Amino acid sequence: MATKTIRVDTLTRVEGEGALELDIADGAVAGVRLSIFEPPRFFEALLRGRAGAEAPDITARICGICPVAYQMSAVHAIEDAWGITVDGPLRALRRLLYCGEWIESHALHIVLLHAPDFLGFPDAISMAAAHAEAVQRGLALKKAGNEVLRLLGGREIHPVNVRVGGFYRVPTRAELAPLAATLEAAHAQAVALARWVAEFPFPEFARNYEFVALRHPDEYPLNAGRIVSNRGLDIAVAEYEAAFAERHVAHSTALQSGLRARGSYLVGPLARFNLNHDRLGPSVQALAAELGLAPGCANPFRSIIVRAIEVVYACEEALRLIAAYEPPSAPAVPVAPRAGEGTACTEAPRGILFHRYRLDAEGSILEARIVPPTSQNQSTIEDDLRIIATRDLRLPEDELRDHCEQAIRNYDPCISCSTHFLRLEVRRR
């Protein structure tokens, strides 16, 4: 019996640490394991006994790439527990802040982490020699997203200005004006970026995924909505844990999430686009159509185009929010801690991020539950890899490994979030 194991010890161009192992027995793929060995940091445990008001700053430290996502899910969940409603300009500013994170995070992934796969480079720096304009444009877009974070949040990584009830300080209209000029330029760059990535060579690949995303009555989803899927799931956020279960597998420090009824599912840009195409607005829809992207896209390799489309959308939406902005009378609504339980789900750049907190009468956290997007995508990534590895089994090992890593990067996995980084190991038996 011919057996072999192929292993990628350190998966590169992803955020966090993990490995990939393929077991091959008698010329067929016998096992695929996305090993996440990021050391556990025990956030759900260390949050116990902390003040509910500390949750946004503490959970931001789960991920330096998408701290705003953690801050947003945290404040919405605590506000849910304490019966607080934040609307009007404060709600709009939160959405604007989130747009900044989408632009920054997507530009980072598209240009610095994923594009080199399609164009055959080990990284964006070596890609810059042949594609200088595209790399410069990507860096400029990333910088524009970071400028939104810096102005509204104080700094780009672990912003300091988000609090339960709103913000510590809100900007004036005059302070937002220069941001509008930056975002106008970024919008044009984002359209060019989308056209650039749409020309990449895409492998033929499609699966019958269950896509899961938020859906809001009139917005492309960021901070709020019901949790829906293309197979009829339609639940309130508070019902999340009734519909989804996490399990702990031996090869991973991340818990894997699945639908109790049907197992694997896919979250992130592709799911959002497929389920919310009608909320993108006419100009973004027209651009998607021009690039050959229609709702129902089931090729995860094309998620790089969807990410670029979402950058265009986030620039447009940010400009709309800035144009409509009237400063609120106070930077935050009054907050009165009380005993209770609250849940929230927001759309992190990589997909839905669920938080639940149970708090005592003083507002201290008794229990915390956090489900990041990458642990939700983990079993779907393994399913994709099983198909790709089977298809490419006869290719030289280097190529097989590259194809697998590229397929993993389709999900922009944030392993720090889910807990850790990747190695690819293929065992041939």
Partner 1 sequence: MDARPRPTLAVWKFASCDGCQLSLLDCEDELLAVAGALDIASFAEASSTLRPGPYDLSLVEGSITTPQDAERIRAVRAASKRIITIGACATAGGIQALRNFVDVNDYIAVVYATPAYISTLATSTPISAHVKVDFALHGCPINKTQLLEVISALLAGRKPDIPNDSVCVACKRRGTPCVMVAQGTPCLGPVTQAGCGAICPAYGRGCYGCFGPAEAANTAALAAAWTALGAGRRSIHRAFRTFNAAAVPFREESDAHGDENHQG
Could you tell me the smallest distance in angstroms from the CB atom of residue 391 to partner 1?
Answer: 21
Stretch that binds partner 1, among 89-97, 117-125, 184-192, 373-381 (CB under 8 A): 117-125
Which member of 71, 378, 416, 418 binds partner 1 (CB under 8 A)?
416
Cβ proximity of 272 and 377 under 8 Å: no
Work out whether 387 is an interface residue with partner 1 (CB under 8 A).
Answer: no
Work out whether 100 is an interface residue with partner 1 (CB under 8 A).
Answer: no
Work out whether 15 is an interface residue with partner 1 (CB under 8 A).
Answer: yes
Cβ proximity of 101 and 347 under 8 Å: no
Record the tokens describing residue 204, joined without a space. 């033929």
Work out whether 123 is an interface residue with partner 1 (CB under 8 A).
Answer: yes
H or E element: which one contains 30?
Answer: strand 28-36
Sign of CA dihedral 113, 115, 116, 120: positive
- Which lies closer to partner 1 via its Cβ, residue 32 or residue 255? 255
Which member of 51, 192, 238, 243 binds partner 1 (CB under 8 A)?
51
d(CA 54, CA 194): 38
Which member of 3, 12, 85, 283 binds partner 1 (CB under 8 A)?
12
Whose CA is closest to 251, among 424, 420, 35, 413?
Answer: 35
Could you tell me the smallest distance in angstroms from the CB atom of residue 160 to partner 1?
Answer: 5
d(CA 359, CA 344): 14
Whose CA is closest to 141, among 175, 192, 71, 69?
Answer: 192
Which member of 20, 62, 190, 381 binds partner 1 (CB under 8 A)?
62
Could you tell me the smallest distance in angstroms from the CB atom of residue 253 to partner 1?
Answer: 7
Stretch that binds partner 1, among 57-65, 76-84, 90-98, 371-379 (CB under 8 A): 57-65
d(CA 272, CA 277): 8
Residues 216-255 that bind partner 1 (CB under 8 A): 247-250, 253, 255
Work out whether 390 is an interface residue with partner 1 (CB under 8 A).
Answer: no
Which member of 27, 28, 45, 242 binds partner 1 (CB under 8 A)?
45
Q: Output DSSP code: residue 252.
A: B
Work out whether 17 is an interface residue with partner 1 (CB under 8 A).
Answer: yes
Work out whether 307 is an interface residue with partner 1 (CB under 8 A).
Answer: no
SS (H, E, C) 322-382: HHHCCCCCCCECCCCCCCEEEEEEEEECCEEEEEEEEECCCCEEEEEEEECHHHHHHHHHH
Stretch that binds partner 1, among 7-15, 78-86, 88-96, 190-198 (CB under 8 A): 7-15
Length of the chain: 429
SS (H, E, C) 256-313: EEEECCCECCECCHHHHHHHHHHHCCHHHHHHHHHCCCCCCCCCHHHHHHHHHHHHHH
| Residue type at position 198 | A
Size of the site for partner 1 (CB under 8 A): 70
Residue ranges that bind partner 1, judged by CB under 8 A: 10-17, 38-46, 48-51, 54, 57-58, 61-65, 67, 108, 112-113, 116, 122-126, 128, 135, 139-140, 142-143, 146, 154-158, 160-161, 163, 167-169, 247-250, 253, 255, 331, 364-365, 405, 414, 416, 421
